[in-house]
Amino acid sequence: MPRALLPLPEGFEEIETVTPIDLLRRAGVEVVVAALGPGIHVTGRSGITLHADLPLAALGDGEAFDALILPGGPGVRVLRDDPRIVARARACDAEGRWIGAICAAPLVLHDAGLLPPGARYTSHPSTAGELPGRLPEARVVRHGRIITSRGAGTALDFGLELIEVLVSPEKRAEIAAAICA
């Protein structure tokens, strides 16, 4: 069974977090939701509190995941300020693992040096100043082993793309049909 790590910062965008978690779990992916802080209750931008599986600090440094998934929203500032997240992104890239980033979260990949000139990616319009190379009209972009998506309105597309790469195109089609996507 594939495993994915989703670090959860205060201020996360709820749709961009819950949608991929839900879709991936429907597809049989083990999604580990890890709170960045010491507790396991984390509140999103719209005041919805999620119960994470564990604090990120409880994971061993060498614990392997097939993917790192970064949610967007105001919590991206917290992700960018946490050296553990940049280190995990770089390690995933070096090990040839998948990385997904939605909304403003591609800024974390930029900080990690994973969006060099010529890379194809998209992100929320608010990031255009820091990410001038983004593809502004693309809903989801897969470039190498990095998947980016524009925002809350593209979270379903993002989750289905993650299913395709982590499980199979057939599973993507099955889940899409089951949810009438």
For residue 11 the two structure tokens come to 């201020």
DSSP state of 115: S
Q: Of 67, 16, 14, 8, nearest to 38 (Cα)? A: 8
CA distance 102 to 158: 8
CA distance 18 to 115: 25
- Catalytic hit among 79, 103, 131, 141: 103
Angle at CA of residue 56, ends 52 and 57, nearest 5°: 135
Whether residue 103 lies in the annotated active site: yes
* CA distances to 47, 54, 67, 78, 180 from 14, in Å: 9, 18, 19, 15, 21
CA-CA-CA-CA torsion for 103, 108, 112, 113, nearest 10 degrees?
Answer: 40
H-helix or E-strand spanning residue 119: none
For residue 93 the two structure tokens come to 């890239």
Catalytic residue list: 103
